[in-house]
Each structure stands twice: as structure tokens, then as C-alpha cells.
Amino acid sequence: MIAEFEKLMYNSEMLKNSWKNQLDLFEKLNKSKISDYQFTNFIDWILRTRYSEELFAGSSMWRLLISKPNPNGKLNYQQTLKIEFDNGTGLYEMEYSDWDTISDKDDYKKAILWTRKSTGIELVNNFLEFINWNKNWC
């Protein structure tokens, strides 16, 4: 079964709103679950760039998930950049997966094509490094 939001064709305004929605969510999480504010700082930076109108922001279990719409405007969740905060290490983990590159779900580790661990202050630089590496995204 396909969720309604997966059927949508996203335009730049809808993409920007996805970032605004995530900013609201992570601001609320700052008050309860995530005491580090680098997610909100990162999202705020994205909102001031063209990336907010080119990429979709979602979340799951305190993770920020970033996807790029296909040329037809539909999202491709098979290719996602995940950013999560590790409370144990105090580091942010960025991981780009492309599930279209594998045919057997047991090979899931092969779908992970790019990773970085960093402090929150390095999120923007690591994101830009990712964009430079994955030229198909922007």
C-alpha cells in the first residue's frame, strides 16, 4: 500500500514547507528528547538556501531524512540521506543509501554508499561534501 504523500508530485513550495515542518518538529524535540540544537541549526541553514526548494525533508524516530524528488516531482525514498544524533558519542551520523543499487534485501549494507560522523557544527560542511559527491542531487 502506498501512502498518500508518496503519490504527490512535489513543487518547490511543498519542498520548502517540508523543511519548515521539520524545523517545527525538531524545535519541539529540543525541549524533550534531543538537547543538542544542531538539527535545528542545520534545518534553519537549509531554509536559507536553494536546497530547501530542491530536496524533501522528513523524519523518523528522531532522524532527519532527506530525499530528492524525481524529475516528475515524485519522491524516491530508495535514495535517502539520513542524519541522526548518537547520544552515546555526541556525534552526528550521516548516511546515504541507494536501495536501487541492490536486488537482495540481505545485501542492505551494500546500499549504503556514503557515510560521515561529525560534530553538529560540521553538518553543513559535510552536507556540502555530500552534495559535491552526489552530483545528481543538486
pLDDT band at 2 (very low <50, low <70, confident <90, very high): low
pLDDT for the residue 117: 96
Asked if residues 66 and 45 have their Cβ atoms less than 8 Å apart, the reply is no
pLDDT for the residue 111: 76
Question: Do strands 63-69 and 112-118 pair parallel, antiparallel, or not at all (unpaired)?
Answer: unpaired
Tens digit of pLDDT for each residue in 50-62? 999 999 999 998 8
pLDDT band at 136 (very low <50, low <70, confident <90, very high): confident
Which of 30-39, 56-65, 102-111 holds the top average pLDDT? 56-65
Nearest to 124 by CA among 57, 65, 38: 38
d(CA 102, CA 125): 29
- Per domain, the residue ranges of the chain are 4-133
pLDDT over threshold 90, residue 77: no
